[in-house]
Structure 1
Amino acid sequence: MTDPQTPSFGGAAIVQRPPAIVDVSVLVPARDEAESLAQFIEQCDVVFRTRAERYEVIVIDDGSRDNTWSVLEGLRAQYPFVRTVRHRSGRGIADALRSGYLTSDAGILVFYPADLQFKPEDIPRLVAPILAGESDMVTGRKEGKYDKAFVSRIYNGLSRTLFQIPVQDLNNVKAYRREVMDDQPVRPDWHRYMIVLAVAQGYSVSEIPVPLYPRNAGKSKFGLSRIPIGVLDMLAVWFELRFGRKPLLAFGILGGAMFGVAGIIGLLLLTTRAGTRPYWTMIQSALTLGSVFFATGILGEQIAALRAEQRELRRRLDERASDSSSDA
């Protein structure tokens, strides 16, 4: 059980440690990964001891039903660089990464799974281009046998075509500057499109090959039900990037098209003098849909204006916080 004095937010219990100066925070979402965590942290310890940069590992227990949390408590007591966050129920990788980000101290964040399909020895390779100032974000390109390779190829191919992203593997282990996460929208499952959203914000992205190994224990959380969800999320991200700031542009085009259809049918009726009921029904339907599209676009513009004000307010608050820390 979590200490009652442990602070929490959004149902996540955070075990805090005294502030330490770290360069890299490794964020590790874990759901029912009790069998892998000890070996994962042990390998992290071996790697981190040889590095000049300072690391912390933040493991987010995302509503595990096994003894993941008790394993984490033991690891936290054994390894000073381990910190933990607990979600009472499963909230998904995107929420887990955000909880880890809010708990972290470093200027560079790394998304890494606990199942040992990727070895901790490759974490410094992901971080190196960022530390060298060569890139804002580095993603790994899977090398090795992959059970979901067919689905992954389709997803990556569609994403590259739709978003013109200069990397081959979008949904994999990655390292990124903290400010990349600052600019990410708080949306479930949108961690898959972190690279897309970062590129749209002007951040630079590079890619390195990362070996993929067989899962150490447990089973994959991926199911076929994720495929339609992923496709819909992809369309949502595309709409957000294309029309998020100007929704009336999209809905106005659709509304104008419906009015145009109504006008064309009306002209045909006037010239042919055919007063059949189906044509009048089509005109009424097109006018109604056009009006709905325009009304939706106008409402969207109001929402977009509010979001712009929120972004500006957040920017000003960040500037004040930065100025305060500089004065201190």
Structure 2
Amino acid sequence: MAKSKDISVVIPLYNEEESITELCKWISRVMESHGFHYEIVIVDDGSTDNSWEIINNISSENGSVKAVKFKRNYGKSAALNTAFRCSEGDVVITMDADLQDSPDEIPELFKMIKEDGYELVSGWKKKRYDPLSKTIPSKFFNYITRKITGIKLHDFNCGLKAYTSELVKSIEVYGEMHRYIPAIAKWNGFNRIGERVVQHSARKYGQTKFGLERYIYGFLDLLSITFVSKFKKRPMHFFGTMGTLSFIFGFIVATYLIGEKVYINLFLNERARGVVEQPLFFLALTALIIGVQLFLAGFLAEMISINSNKKGDYLIEKKIGL
């Protein structure tokens, strides 16, 4: 019976032909020096350079390297999600392919999972070699994320993280949600989340694949994941509550206006202003309509949630060792 693997090192990449060979050799040196039984799972996210040919060569020399190539570029979340499904290690380590994450950190991350009892350990690049145009927005982004999620991490976007196998097999990462895996993990019941200061190296080859727009998308993704995580299984709780409050507000205002007109006409014998002549009536009518629409939206979302079990499927062009 084959020995189970201690570690799966997961590497999502897109056009990293210059760095992937050096990274795999570095990982192998660290693993062999510590006696780990390991595998390297690479997901080529539709690269247009020679990355896949180089991965083929690496795999032919190192049987621990497995790889998947997407038909097109789906994004980092899709690559991670696919790699998580393919991984066999007791501990899963993720890192970027650009050599900014150091494989020398792997043994300590592994120890924090196996010996210290953490389910997720996130790297913190406390000292960064990035320009201020990246570090300042990053600090603000991480501050907002900490406040919203309640998870006290300094660097949510760090690619160097360690997970238990149970965790990565239990979550679904989609869209651009790779930044919020700690939040997804927490909302799925994995609360033992830790942090470790890790080394950050300046980018050695090529250029970053992300611009400042990632912070805008990141904030929108944060709102999305917060909503989905809290109301995915009970959308009626959100839409139904908002719809009910809106309907009640509209009903009370409309009833008041109609009652006021009846009172003035019947008991004071005066001519009251027409209900439809008052702007407040149209506000009440709008609230009634919105309330009904929100309630129906909640009902439909509830039906979809109950009947839908669809998972993200990505077109895989080639595989190695899987």
Q: TM-score range by the shorter chain?
A: 0.7 to 0.9
CA offsets 1:240-281 (integer angstroms, 9 cap, x no match): 232222221211221122213313432452326433164443
User: How much has 1:58 moved relative to structure 2?
Assistant: 1.2
Q: Any gaps of 5 or more consecutive residues in structure 1?
A: 1-18, 312-328
Query: What is the TM-score with the length of structure 1 in the denominator?
Result: 0.83
| Residue 101 of structure 2 is aligned to residue 114 of structure 1 | no
| Residue 193 of structure 2 is aligned to residue 195 of structure 1 | no
Contact 2:13 2:42 in 1 (8 A): yes
Counterpart selection for 2:74 from 64, 79, 91: 91
CA offsets 1:70-100 (integer angstroms, 9 cap, x no match): 1111111122221211112111111111221
Q: Which residue of 2 aligns with 1:12?
A: none
Q: Which residue of 1 aligns with 2:118?
A: 135
Contact 2:243 2:295 in 1 (8 A): yes
Which secondary structure does the structure 2 equivalent of 1:27 belong to?
strand
Which secondary structure does the structure 1 equivalent of 2:125 belong to?
strand
Q: Which residue of 2 aligns with 1:220?
A: 208
Q: Which residue of 2 aligns with 1:163?
A: 149
User: How much has 1:170 moved relative to structure 2?
Assistant: 1.8
CA offsets 1:55-82 (integer angstroms, 9 cap, x no match): 2111111111111111111111122221
Aligned counterparts, 1:1-328, within 5 A: 21-145=4-128, 146-147=130-131, 148-172=134-158, 173-203=160-190, 204-270=192-258, 271=260, 273-274=272-273, 275=275, 276=277, 278-306=279-307
**Matches of 1:99 and 1:305, distance apart in 2:** 25
CA offsets 1:208-263 (integer angstroms, 9 cap, x no match): 10011100101111123322321121111111232222221211221122213313
CA offsets 1:101-153 (integer angstroms, 9 cap, x no match): 22222121111011011111112221111121521111101122234222221
Output the amino acid matched with 1:178.
S
User: How much has 1:193 moved relative to structure 2?
Assistant: 1.1
Number of equivalences: 291
Greater length-normalized contact order (CA 8 Å, ≥ 6 residues apart): 2
Contact 1:144 1:213 in 2 (8 A): no
**Matches of 1:106 and 1:225, distance apart in 2:** 34
Which secondary structure does the structure 2 equivalent of 1:122 belong to?
helix
User: How much has 1:157 moved relative to structure 2?
Assistant: 1.1
Q: Any gaps of 5 or more consecutive residues in structure 2?
A: 262-271, 311-322
RMSD: 2.0
**Matches of 1:161 and 1:258, distance apart in 2:** 28
Which secondary structure does the structure 1 equivalent of 2:157 belong to?
coil
Query: What is the TM-score with the length of structure 2 in the denominator?
Result: 0.84
Contact 1:165 1:196 in 2 (8 A): yes
Output the amino acid matched with 2:151.
I
CA offsets 1:148-206 (integer angstroms, 9 cap, x no match): 22222122111111111132222211010111122212421112111111122222111
**Matches of 1:186 and 1:139, distance apart in 2:** 16
**Matches of 1:20 and 1:232, distance apart in 2:** 43
Q: Which residue of 2 aligns with 1:322?
A: none
Which secondary structure does the structure 2 equivalent of 1:66 belong to?
coil
Output the amino acid matched with 2:23.
F
Deviates further, 270-279 or 285-294: 270-279
Which secondary structure does the structure 2 equivalent of 1:56 belong to?
strand
Identity over aligned residues, as a percent?
29
Contact 1:127 1:138 in 2 (8 A): no
Higher Cα Rg: structure 1 or 2?
Answer: 2
